[in-house]
Amino acid sequence: MTKSPESVLVEEMTAWRRDLHAHPEFGFEESRTGAFVATKLREFGLDDVVEGVGGTGVVGTLTRGSAIRSIALRADMDALRITEQGERPHRSTNSGTMHACGHDGHTAMLLGAAKCLAEDGGFNGTVRFVFQPAEEWGKGAMAMLADGLLERFPFEEIHGLHNMPGLPVGHFQTRAGPFMSAEDVFEIVLRGVGGHAARPHWGRETLVAACALVTNLQTIVSRRLSPSDVAVVSVTELLTDGTRNVLPGEARISGDTRSFRMDVSVEIERQMRAIAEGTALAHNVSAEVAYAREFVPLVNDAVLADEALATARFLFGDDAVSEPADPMTASEDFARFLAHVPGCFAFLGNGLESAPLHNAAYDFDDGGLIHGARYHAGIVRRRLPASP
């Protein structure tokens, strides 16, 4: 029996995805991944394929018809510094690095859409296929923009997808307006005088101060911001220079915060500095606060969110579309593109039984590949309709 073109595409995308999963690369190290992507795009017959954009990014261009409008589709390519668990055949071969967020699937889905659009057309205009490096630490989009992405490969709008564990495969979610939060990172260094564990009064140790500060920082959200403001303050690490019988003279507290508005971010930083200084003073130590903004809020264009939802309903049916999705306090580098052009970011289900993102047991569900490829191609054909 002859296989349908869609069945063949599913098999190809599955093979691509598993190859990428077995060879994960960290941000700005995606040399093999970028070469893999560029080779496939050239095999598909794209009009132009450029490597090394923003370091290791790839941009492919496909034009059909005579319309001057252009649209961009984006996938992220980088992996995480996590040691994979499980014995699946396509397990990571790069020790300590794995695709624990599904970027292998995102890349394979966009490659599938590129092949489909190159073979079948069905649109009038130009499509930019943007394969981005270094999404996980929020630097890849800025690197591509700094390398002239918008000037060298102009487009009027941009669309992206991310898989979502806990959502059934084939289900689609997005919303207009704020969709994903900003991420700020901080480090607070407490300095005193270390000493013998048996004689704490001889020094000015920092561990008790650090423990108090971790607790006090939780009052930023619970007591110092409006209850109507969505925010998260998380301490994720506490390190000292002490040992079993040595009181530490230095303690480092690090973590991150999430919010959806710049004024809330500014207030979190202001309160954090005040709490750190006050806590340090109460414990007779000093405090130094470093605070940086790494991800900006992701805000979907209202018109394009409606277009995305309409495309998903047409392709997947009303029952497979959730509207509106709740805002999420995770962050996404795609937001950097939305500061320059309108666009829409959306979630596709990775299955109810999927391990969480950034988990060592996570794996992308290959059943979702065709849905992502169909959506990418569908949004292009809706936004760049072919002439009657």
The pLDDT assigned to 2 comes to 84
pLDDT value at position 198? Answer: 95
pLDDT more than 90, % of the chain: 97
User: pLDDT tens, 138-150?
Assistant: 999 999 999 999 9
What are the tens digits of pLDDT across the range 104-133? 999 999 999 999 999 999 999 999 999 999
**Quick check: 385 pLDDT over 90?**
yes
CATH number of the domain located at residue range(s) 186-295 in this protein: 3.30.70.360
Q: What are the tens digits of pLDDT across the range 359-369?
A: 999 999 999 99
Residue 204 has pLDDT above 80, yes or no: yes
Position 387 pLDDT exceeds 80: no
The answer on pLDDT for 342 being more than 80 is yes
Gap between the Cα atoms of 346 and 133, Å rounded: 19
Mean per-residue pLDDT for 81-97?
96
Torsion, CA 47, CA 51, CA 56, CA 60, rounded to 10: 0
- The class that CATH gives domain 5-180+298-383 is alpha beta
What pLDDT, in 10s, does the model give residues 31-72? 999 999 999 999 999 999 999 999 999 999 999 999 999 999
Please give the pLDDT value at position 388. 66
Domain ranges of the chain: 5-180+298-383, 186-295
Q: What is the pLDDT of residues 230-273, one digit of tens each?
A: 999 999 999 999 999 999 999 999 999 999 999 999 999 999 99
